[in-house]
Amino acid sequence: MLKVTNLSKSFSNSSILKDVNFTLNQGKICAIVGSNGSGKTTFLKCLSGLMSYDEGDIDYSSQNGHLFLSDKLNIFGDLTIEQNLKVLLRYYNQDFNQAFFNESLQVLNIYNYRELPLKFLSRGNLQRNKLCVAMNLNWDYLLIDEPFSNLDYDGIKIFKNIFENFKSENKSIIFSTHQSNDNSFCDKVVIIEDFKEI
């Protein structure tokens, strides 16, 4: 279970997160909804350990830890999808599975781009590559910032299906979005401004 207690974060004198309390069990999908600049990314960065926070406590009681995918490209531009993944797997001290990798490329519809350096891929396909990384790494909590940006209708459908698959494997997903509609596939939707569940 992920348990956040009294988390506070401010930049200069501006308070972004104030006494946030939040829990999420394993195998759940949670959407963090809020307007631009409301602190969604800051919250995810604090959860990822990438950003220090002023007060509070974040406790993951899981074996495989978490994976943070920011809203940026998250790639080594000169590498192909496979090379990029292999480098990242080495950082996470995990092994590469060629068969599963090929399968994930097919599922995400990016198999035809496997030979291209990532810098030549479109934004939508780079977003799919991000999820390919998530599929091939082992984690218990996926923290993903704006996963549906730059995706077409089919892409969004594929992503939601993959999220459902993660859930069935008892993995949890926390993602941020500024769209409050169509989050019906989520177990929990939280408004970042007051951290109220809807």
Partner 1 sequence: MFINLIKNEFYLESKSSYNLLYISFFAITCLIFLLFSFPLSKINDIVVFTGFFWIIISLSTIKLVENSFAREKDYNVYDLIYSSSVDLSLIFFAKLISLSLILGVVQFIIFLSYILFSDLNLTLFTNFILLNVVSNFGLISFGILIFLLTNTSTSKSFLFPLIFFPLIIPVLTNASNILFGIIIGEKSSLYIESWMILLTFALIGILLGINLFGRLIRQ
Query: What is the spatial distance between Cα 156 and Cα 22, in angstroms, rounded to a whole number?
Result: 27
Query: What is the spatial distance between Cα 40 and Cα 83, in angstroms, rounded to a whole number?
Result: 31
Strands across the sheet containing 14-24: 14-24, 2-11, 55-60
Q: What mask, x for binding partner 1 by CB under 8 A, covers residues 112 to 141?
A: ------xx-------------x--------
Query: What is the spatial distance between Cα 103 and Cα 101, in angstroms, rounded to a whole number?
Result: 5
* Residue 83 CB neighbours (<10 A): 13
Our finding on whether 91 is near partner 1 (CB under 8 A) is yes
Interface with partner 1 (CB under 8 A), residue from 18, 58, 79, 148: 79
Interface with partner 1 (CB under 8 A), residue from 73, 107, 158, 191: 73
* Residue 146 CB neighbours (<10 A): 19
First-residue to last-residue Cα distance in the chain: 20
Our finding on whether 49 is near partner 1 (CB under 8 A) is yes
Our finding on whether 62 is near partner 1 (CB under 8 A) is no
CB of 198 to partner 1, least distance (A): 28
Our finding on whether 58 is near partner 1 (CB under 8 A) is no
Beta bridge partners of 33: 177, 191
Our finding on whether 189 is near partner 1 (CB under 8 A) is no
Our finding on whether 173 is near partner 1 (CB under 8 A) is no
Of 28-36, 90-98, 102-110, 163-171, the window that binds partner 1 (rule: CB under 8 A) is 90-98
Catalog residues that contact partner 1 under the rule CB under 8 A.
Answer: 45, 48-52, 65-70, 72-79, 83-84, 87-88, 90-93, 118-119, 133
